[in-house]
């Protein structure tokens, strides 16, 4: 006796096969262009698990630039021995994947094009960028960039120097090494001045957005003269545990869902500004 499949199941199978065949009919260049819009981790990584062809395209050097200190064959395309050489070779919009393990040197590296720098480890402290003592910063941003899953460590300087563009810091650890002159150190310094936007959702202008990040050491967590947004940020071990701002006004939701943890667990925490409009009551929320 012949069993007939329900009509909806036949339509579902036809629809699924039709979609798959349509995607697979695209040429490699078109598929690679589509993959370039995916966030590297986990979206593009998951795409590479679909089939051999998608694995080849998703891992193509055109979509990734890798920094690997242990590389011996410098002729391998898309692989560089240092962060500085990878940044120099990158094109606007490229993603640089920095290998986990060991220490990567980064001192006064200027980034003048939109880039995404990501640590390849499971945790931020698996991939560490070290700024040499006395350098102004590890990374200097002059364009819209994103930093994710990295640890940046500096002494007598700042971890990140932001001059222009939109800088996004997500899931990182920023550390200022202890030093008798650590009052000169700041985890993040932004010199970009931007008019205050009416909504946090507005993406125009120069601004710094920090989320799921831990900041340790230094005189202050952040020294800013522009627009700053903090979400789920933990600050510990700073000399004064404060954020100094020279901006006339700061977006009111700047401290939304921010968590602070001071080294000495002082109950009364004060966020000080010079000419700014940030209240300690907001910090308590």
d(CA 88, CA 104): 16
Instruction: Tell me the mean pLDDT in the region 100-129.
Output: 93
Domain boundary among 60, 82, 99: 60
The reported pLDDT for the residue numbered 201 is: 39
Name the phi and psi angles at 47, rounded to 5.
-60, -35
Q: Are 51 and 157 found together in one domain? A: no
- Whole-number Å distance between alpha carbons of 175 and 187: 7
Which residue, among 225, 259, 137, 142, has the nearest Cα to 186 in the 3D structure? 137
Domain termination residue (choose one: 60, 83, 98) = 60
d(CA 112, CA 40): 21
Instruction: For residues 176 and 256, state if they share a domain.
Output: yes
**Domain containing residue 78: CATH number:** 2.160.20.10
Structural domain includes residue 209: yes
Same-domain status, 160 and 30: no
Radius of gyration of the chain (CA): 23
Is 13 within the bounds of a domain? yes
Sorting pLDDT into bands at 50, 70 and 90, what band is 13?
low
Q: What is the pLDDT of residue 50?
A: 87
Domain that holds residue 200: 66-284
The label of the residue with tokens 């903090």 reads 230
Please tell me whether residues 130 and 16 are part of one structural domain.
no
Split into its structural domains, the chain has a count of: 2
pLDDT at 135 over 90: no
Q: Does residue 42 carry a pLDDT above 80?
A: no
Task: Report how far residue 285's alpha carbon sits from residue 283's, in angstroms, rounded to the nearest whole number.
Answer: 5
- What does the pLDDT average to over 39-68? 83
| 15-27 confidence digits (pLDDT tens) | 455 445 678 888 8
Half-sphere exposure of 125 (CA within 13 A, CB side): 3
Residue bearing the bigger pLDDT, 256 or 114: 114
Assigned domain for 1 exists: no
Residue 253 is predicted with a pLDDT of 35
pTM above 0.85, yes or no: no
Residues 29 and 70 reside in one and the same domain: no
DSSP state, residue 41: I
């Amino acid at each position: 006796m012949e069993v007939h499949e329900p009509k909806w199941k036949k339509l579902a199978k036809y629809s699924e096969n039709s979609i798959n065949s349509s995607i697979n009919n695209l040429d490699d260049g078109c598929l690679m262009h589509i993959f370039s819009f995916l966030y590297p981790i986990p979206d593009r990584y998951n795409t590479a698990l679909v089939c051999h062809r998608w694995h080849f395209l998703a891992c193509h050097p055109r979509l990734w630039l890798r920094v690997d200190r242990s590389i011996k064959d410098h002729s391998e395309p898309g692989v560089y021995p240092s962060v500085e050489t990878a940044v120099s070779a990158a094109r606007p919009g490229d993603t640089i994947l920095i290998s986990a393990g060991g220490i990567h040197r980064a001192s006064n590296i200027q980034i003048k094009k939109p880039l995404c720098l990501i640590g390849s480890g499971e945790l931020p402290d698996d991939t560490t960028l070290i700024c040499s003592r006395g350098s102004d910063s590890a990374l200097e941003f002059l364009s819209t960039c994103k930093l994710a899953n990295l640890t940046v460590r500096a002494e007598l300087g700042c971890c990140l120097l932001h001059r222009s563009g939109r800088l996004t810091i997500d899931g990182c650890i920023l550390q200022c090494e202890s030093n008798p002159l650590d009052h000169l150190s700041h985890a993040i310094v932004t010199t970009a001045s931007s008019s205050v936007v009416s909504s946090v959702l507005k993406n125009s202008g120069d601004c710094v957005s920090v989320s799921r990040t831990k900041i340790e050491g230094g005189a202050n967590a952040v020294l800013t003269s522009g627009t700053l947004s903090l979400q789920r940020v933990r600050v510990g071990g700073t000399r004064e545990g404060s954020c100094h701002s020279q901006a006339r006004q700061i977006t009111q939701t700047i401290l939304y869902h921010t968590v602070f943890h001071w080294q000495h667990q002082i109950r009364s925490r004060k966020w000080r500004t010079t000419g700014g409009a940030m209240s300690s009551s907001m910090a308590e929320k």
